């Protein structure tokens, strides 16, 4: 029991000690805050006192300076009208009247008077002219002296100074001598004025004759002195009137001192004995213009500044706050323990989530890779199956399975690309590539789908774009393929146009019309302003008016510019390379993007139609991957879309322009070489739409063909031959081919069709141009079979156009003789060749072996490094030494000098 009481007492003592220490701490804090507020209050009061004192001193100086300036003006008046006029126009009455009327301009002066300088030799004449005798300040006749200063003009208020010699007063004499020597106004010591009995000072100002230079010496100033102008200042009234006008004068006490003699300062205003709160005071210097005298203004509070309530309430409030804080800290301590426990659990969950995410990524990459391996085998086996004898149903099943497998491979590739982008492991290559060949390949990829839908699919590259660039052709192809694929998917009528221009040329034409990543130029009704809405490739309205004909034609090459030859013999040289920024746009006339979905177009796995019953397939990551690839190429992607009108996606990409190559022609490695047999040939194109005719001319000019465009077939035929069937132009100017768009061909009448048929069958016509129809669907091949020599199906490609023209003109392809290609070339290349195939997947091994054996090759298969070693030894037994070394470097093998023994150079754990 005693032990429990002892523990309880100890706890009570600890609690009491803690409270006592806390209260002492709070009391100390209250005292510190109180003194801090008190010091701050006194500092604020001192700043206010300084501000008020300086303000009063400045206003006093300004008013005194104004009065001095008026005295200066009066001195100039006397000098001008009294000494410069002969006879003088100034007398006592005039002076008294003028100064009395203008006294409001000198409110600080009791009066002004003018004393003329009179030498002793001039005294008699002066006294006889004035009619009175010069007297001293005491009223007695002035004794003889060198010079006198009798007052001849005075204001009515100081008329008692008339006839008095100002030189007779000792202090006045000193002021007169100092003023004429310096040329400035000087002041006397403070004294009691005669009438008001107030303290005041006398201002003395010299009056010089005209013509005194500014840098005159003292002797010259004395010689030029004509008189002295003086005035009495009532300092007490001046300061009293000034302070009465200002607020806060009841709170401060003001004293004005003459401190010329620091040991014995003379009081000019204020109580003679110190009053008010002496701990706070401020001294402001006064400058009345007299360099020989110094004046000060001393200000102090009349009472001690009151202590504000905040000096007491603030520390009290702080004590209350800290008491509450103590309680809050106690409650927070308990809460902190609970939160820390929750944080620990959250950290564990975070680690588990991150591990799950990493496992998911690894699983995705692994499974995608493992799926792609058997899928390649499936596609290979389907290719082999299609080469066998199948009936129509079996062939249809195999082709359907092959299409589905390719779609699955494309999906897996997109997922892997997205995973690489998220991991930051996607890299951009830098290799030379032919931009125009890539666009031709993309058009070929979607040609069947576009013909099936009957839509125009075309590409146009500006002539200023170099033919060969250095960059990543695979990723560039992937971006355009994604955009064109989306356009083909969502477009049922109209056109899809791919354009490539230099960014600086395009920006000059569309300056001020740039848009952000989101569509910022679409309103609710989808209206745009600018160019004609239907002057497009197919005649359907497009979403972006920046691609209209008015701006498109400015980017077309001028006459003769298609003969420009770009340098193809190039490699990337960092010192000689040049940056080229391209602007690529993909325009379609499809269904467009709904307004509510335009903000999330580039979001991964997001689609405009996310319902389970949507009409279009896809994963929704193509655009997000394209956006990331564009940014990796140093560009930006944006779009403009209008529902039920179409969409236009635009992106920029930066490449390097190839400048030189010490040897070799990259044409063969970068693209299919175009035949040179069409250079200098002339063609006539009939097309009503200028954009479409420009695209067709672009492909023909790539072959070296000169193109003339007309809008009407009737005009074209009339220009080529007369009514009697003879040509109206020379053979040297006659076009070799006549290309007609299907719309222009459909619009010709029966008479013109009959005339054209007679013209083609006539024996009088020689070297008639071949008539070629440009169609977009398979049904166009059957139109006008008797009148047409050949039908070229769109989309147009330079190589496809070249083959069709060779067939129509019966031109021999010299290029094919030099370099055979296709199935005819492969057997001659692989026949009886020994080829080693190594793969750890048996299915892929069988697919590769079967594909090579089909072209006559002798194939050896190996599944691992050991069999690779044995097979390589058997295959290379008769190999030249140079070939042997190349194989070693490629496969990682090391071979002794005499091929006596073999061993594997390990390159990886799987080797």
pLDDT digits (tens, 9 = 90+) for 597-622: 888 888 776 665 554 345 565 566 78
pLDDT value, residue 621: 78
**Lowest model confidence (mean pLDDT) among 399-403, 551-555, 831-835:** 551-555
Weakest-pLDDT range from 410-419, 815-824, 862-871 = 815-824
Across the chain, mean pLDDT equals 77
Q: Give the Cβ contact number of residue 845 at 10 Å.
A: 18
Residue 519 lies in a domain: no
pLDDT-derived band at 483, boundaries 50, 70, 90? very high
Domain that holds residue 857: 826-874
Whichever domain contains 481, its CATH number is 3.30.565.10
Average pLDDT over residues 811-825: 49
Do 161 and 196 lie in a common domain?
yes
> In total, how many domains does the chain have?
5
- Residue 781 is assigned to a structural domain of this protein: yes
What is the per-residue pLDDT for 898? 36
Region 10-26: mean pLDDT is 77
Q: Would you say residue 55 has pLDDT above 80?
A: yes
Burial classification of residue 160, based on how many CB atoms lie within 10 Å of its CB (0-12 exposed, 13-18 middle, 19 or more buried):
middle
Q: What is the pLDDT at residue 866?
A: 59
Out of 73-82, 423-432, 665-674, the most confident range is 73-82
Res 7: pLDDT: 62
* Band (624; pLDDT cuts 50, 70, 90): confident
847 in the same domain as 789: no
CA 654 – CA 673 distance, rounded (Å): 25
Average pLDDT over residues 748-764: 68
Assigned domain for 561 exists: no
Please indicate, yes or no, whether residues 369 and 470 belong to a single structural domain of this protein.
Answer: no
Whether residue 755 is found in the same domain as residue 861: no
The pLDDT > 70 percentage for the chain reads 76
213 & 95 share domain: yes
pLDDT class of 470 with cuts at 50, 70, 90: very high
* Confidence check: pLDDT of 359 > 70: yes
Gap between the Cα atoms of 201 and 231, Å rounded: 8
Q: With a cut of 50, say whether residue 541 has pLDDT above it.
A: yes
Tell me the per-residue pLDDT of 209-241, one tens digit each, with 9 for 90 and over.
Answer: 877 888 888 888 888 888 999 888 877 777 777
32 pLDDT tier (thresholds 50, 70, 90): confident
How far apart are the C-alpha atoms of 444 and 672, rounded to whole Å? 14
pLDDT at 40: 85
Higher local confidence (pLDDT), 3 or 534: 534
Residues 230 and 105 in one domain: yes
pLDDT at 650 over 90: yes
User: What length does the chain have?
Assistant: 911
Residue 318 located in a structural domain? yes
Q: What integer is the mean pLDDT of 512-520?
A: 40
Q: Which 3 state secondary structure label does DSSP give 456?
A: strand
Q: Are residues 84 and 131 in the same domain?
A: yes
- Between 5-19, 644-658, 827-841, the lowest mean confidence (pLDDT) is in 5-19
Q: Which of 403, 423, 443 corresponds to the end of one domain?
A: 423
Task: Categorize the per-residue pLDDT at 651 as very low, low, confident or very high, splitting at 50, 70 and 90.
Answer: very high
- Reduce the DSSP state of residue 441 to 3 states and report it: helix
Q: Which is more confidently placed, 2 or 713?
A: 713
**pTM of whole model > 0.75?**
no
C-alpha to C-alpha distances, 587 to 502, 786, 808, nearest whole angstrom: 17, 36, 32
CB 64 within 8 A of CB 297: no
Of these ranges, 167-181, 533-547, 554-568, the one predicted with the greatest mean pLDDT is 167-181
**590 and 468 in a common domain:** yes
> What number of other Cβ atoms are within 10 A of residue 37's Cβ?
18
Domain-ending residue, one of 372, 401, 423:
423
Residue 636's pLDDT is: 93
Rounded distance between C-alpha atoms, residue 598 and residue 608, angstroms: 8
Least confident of 21-35, 187-201, 399-413, 760-774: 760-774
Is there a contact between 847 and 384 (Cβ–Cβ < 8 Å)? yes
Q: Identify whether 869 is part of a domain.
A: yes
**Chain centre distance of CA 453:** 43
- Band of the pLDDT at 901, cuts 50, 70, 90? very low
pLDDT score of 720: 67
Q: Which of 269-278, 693-702, 863-872 has the lowest mean pLDDT?
A: 863-872
User: Mean of the pLDDT values across residues 178-203?
Assistant: 79
Q: Give 752-757 contacts, CB < 8 A, sequence gap 24+.
A: 752/713, 752/714, 752/717, 753/784, 753/787, 755/717, 756/717, 756/787, 757/786, 757/787
Whether residue 53 is contained in a domain is answered as no
Residues 448 and 481 in one domain: yes
- 864 located within any domain: yes
Answer whether residue 771 shows pLDDT above 60.
Answer: yes
Q: Which helix (H) or strand (E) holds 202?
A: strand 199-208
In a domain, 328, yes or no: yes
b/e 201-221 (16+ beta carbons within 10 angstroms → b) = bbbbbbbbeeebeeeeeeeeb
CATH assignment of the domain containing 368: 1.10.287.130
Q: Are residues 63 and 188 in the same domain?
A: yes
- Helices 798-809, 690-702: inter-axial angle, 10-degree rounding: 80
Tens of pLDDT, residues 408-441: 887 777 777 777 777 667 788 889 999 999 999 8
Does one domain contain both 454 and 402?
no
CATH code, domain with 255:
3.30.450.350
Task: Between 520 and 610, name the one with better pLDDT.
Answer: 610
Question: Cα 477 from chain centroid?
Answer: 30
pLDDT computed for residue 745 by the predictor: 79
φ, ψ of residue 644 in degrees (nearest 5): 65, 5
| Whether the predicted pLDDT of 818 surpasses 60 | no
Higher-confidence residue: 484 or 306? Answer: 484
Q: Which of 369 and 519 is assigned the larger pLDDT?
A: 369
Residue at which a domain ends, from 423, 453, 468: 423
197, 242: one domain: yes
Q: What's residue 512's pLDDT? A: 43
User: Could you tell me which residue, 322 or 697, shows the higher pLDDT?
Assistant: 697
769: pLDDT strictly greater than 90: no
DSSP assigned state of 780: G
Q: How confident is the model at residue 202, as a pLDDT?
A: 85
- Asked if residue 649 has pLDDT above 90, the reply is yes
Top-confidence range, 88-92, 483-487, 790-794: 483-487
């Amino acid at each position: 029991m005693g032990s429990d009481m002892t523990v309880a007492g100890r706890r009570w003592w600890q609690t009491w000690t803690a409270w006592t220490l806390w209260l002492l701490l709070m009391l100390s804090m209250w005292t510190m805050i109180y003194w801090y507020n008190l010091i701050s209050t006194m500092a604020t009061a001192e700043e206010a006192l300084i501000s008020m004192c300086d303000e009063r001193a400045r206003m006093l100086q300004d008013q005194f300076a104004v009065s001095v300036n008026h005295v200066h003006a009066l001195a100039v008046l006397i000098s001008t009208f009294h000494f410069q006029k002969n006879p003088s126009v100034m007398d006592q009455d005039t002076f008294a009247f003028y100064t009395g009327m203008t006294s409001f301009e000198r409110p600080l002066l009791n009066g002004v008077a003018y004393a003329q300088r009179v030498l002793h030799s001039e005294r008699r004449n002066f006294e006889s002219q004035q009619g009175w005798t010069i007297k001293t300040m005491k009223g007695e006749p002035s004794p003889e002296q060198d010079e006198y200063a009798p007052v001849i003009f005075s204001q009515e208020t100081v008329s008692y100074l008339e006839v008095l010699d100002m030189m007779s007063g000792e202090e006045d004499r000193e002021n007169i001598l100092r003023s004429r020597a310096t040329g400035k106004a000087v002041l006397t010591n403070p004294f009691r004025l005669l009438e008001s009995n107030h303290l005041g000072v006398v201002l003395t100002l010299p009056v010089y004759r005209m013509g005194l230079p500014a840098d005159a010496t003292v002797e010259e100033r004395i010689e030029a002195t004509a008189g002295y102008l003086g005035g009495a200042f009532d300092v007490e009234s001046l300061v009293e009137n000034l302070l009465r006008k200002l607020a806060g004068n009841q709170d401060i006490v003001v004293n004005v001192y003459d401190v010329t003699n620091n040991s014995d300062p003379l009081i000019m205003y204020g109580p003679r004995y110190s009053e008010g709160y002496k701990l706070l005071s401020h001294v402001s210097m006064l400058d009345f213009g007299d360099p020989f005298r110094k004046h000060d203004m001393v200000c102090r509070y009349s009472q001690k500044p009151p202590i504000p309530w905040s000096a007491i309430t603030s520390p009290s409030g702080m004590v209350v706050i800290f008491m509450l804080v103590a309680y809050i800290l106690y409650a927070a301590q308990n809460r902190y323990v609970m939160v820390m426990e929750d944080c620990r659990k959250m950290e564990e969950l975070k680690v588990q989530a991150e591990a799950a995410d990493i496992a998911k990524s690894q699983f995705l990459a692994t499974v995608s890779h493992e799926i792609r391996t058997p899928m390649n085998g499936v596609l290979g086996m389907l290719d082999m199956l299609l080469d066998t004898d199948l009936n129509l149903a079996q062939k249809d099943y195999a082709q359907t399975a092959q299409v589905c497998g390719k779609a699955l491979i494309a999906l897996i590739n997109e997922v892997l690309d997205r995973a690489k982008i998220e991991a930051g492991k996607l890299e951009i290559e830098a290799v030379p590539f032919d931009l125009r060949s890539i666009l031709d390949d993309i058009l070929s990829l979607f040609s069947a789908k576009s013909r099936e839908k009957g839509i125009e699919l075309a590409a146009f590259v500006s002539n200023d774009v170099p033919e060969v660039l250095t960059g990543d052709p695979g990723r560039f192809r992937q971006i355009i393929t994604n955009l064109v694929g989306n356009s083909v998917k969502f477009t049922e009528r109209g056109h899809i146009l791919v354009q490539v221009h230099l960014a600086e040329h395009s920006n000059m034409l569309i300056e001020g019309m740039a848009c952000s990543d989101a569509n910022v130029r679409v309103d609710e009704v989808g209206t745009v302003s600018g160019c004609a809405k239907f002057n497009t490739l197919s005649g359907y309205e497009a979403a972006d008016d920046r691609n209209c004909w008015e701006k498109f034609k400015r980017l077309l090459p001028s006459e003769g510019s298609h003969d420009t030859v770009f340098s193809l013999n190039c490699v990337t040289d960092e010192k000689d390379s040049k940056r080229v920024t391209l602007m690529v746009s993909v325009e379609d006339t499809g269904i467009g993007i709904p307004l509510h979905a335009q903000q999330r177009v580039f979001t991964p796995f997001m689609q405009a139609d996310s319902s389970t019953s949507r009409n279009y397939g896809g994963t929704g990551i193509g655009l997000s991957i394209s956006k990331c690839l564009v940014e990796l190429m140093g560009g930006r992607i944006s779009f403009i879309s209008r529902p039920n009108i179409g969409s236009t996606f635009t992106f920029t990409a930066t490449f390097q322009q190839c400048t030189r190559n010490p040897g070799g022609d990259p044409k063969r490695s970068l693209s299919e070489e175009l035949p040179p047999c069409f250079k200098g040939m002339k063609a006539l194109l009939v097309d009503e739409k200028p954009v479409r005719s420009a695209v067709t001319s672009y492909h023909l000019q790539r072959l070296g063909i000169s193109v003339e465009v007309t809008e009407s077939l009737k005009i074209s035929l009339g220009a080529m031959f007369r009514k009697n069937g003879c040509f109206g132009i020379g053979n040297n100017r006659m076009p070799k081919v006549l290309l007609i768009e299907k719309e222009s061909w459909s619009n010709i009448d029966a008479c013109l069709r009959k005339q054209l048929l007679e013209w083609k069958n006539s024996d009088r016509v020689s070297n008639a141009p071949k008539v070629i129809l440009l169609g977009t669907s398979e049904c166009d091949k059957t139109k006008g079979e008797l009148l047409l020599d050949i039908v070229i199906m769109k989309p147009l490609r330079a190589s496809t156009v070249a083959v069709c023209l060779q067939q129509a003109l019966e031109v021999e392809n010299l290029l094919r003789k030099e370099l055979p290609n296709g199935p005819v070339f492969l057997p001659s290349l692989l026949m009886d060749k020994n080829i080693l195939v190594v793969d750890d997947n048996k299915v892929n091994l069988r697919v590769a072996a079967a594909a090579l054996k089909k072209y006559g090759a002798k194939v050896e298969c190996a599944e691992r490094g050991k069999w690779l070693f044995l097979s390589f030894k058997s295959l290379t037994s008769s190999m030249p030494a140079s070939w042997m070394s190349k194989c070693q470097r490629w496969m990682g093998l090391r071979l002794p000098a005499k091929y006596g023994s073999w061993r594997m150079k390990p390159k990886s754990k799987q080797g």
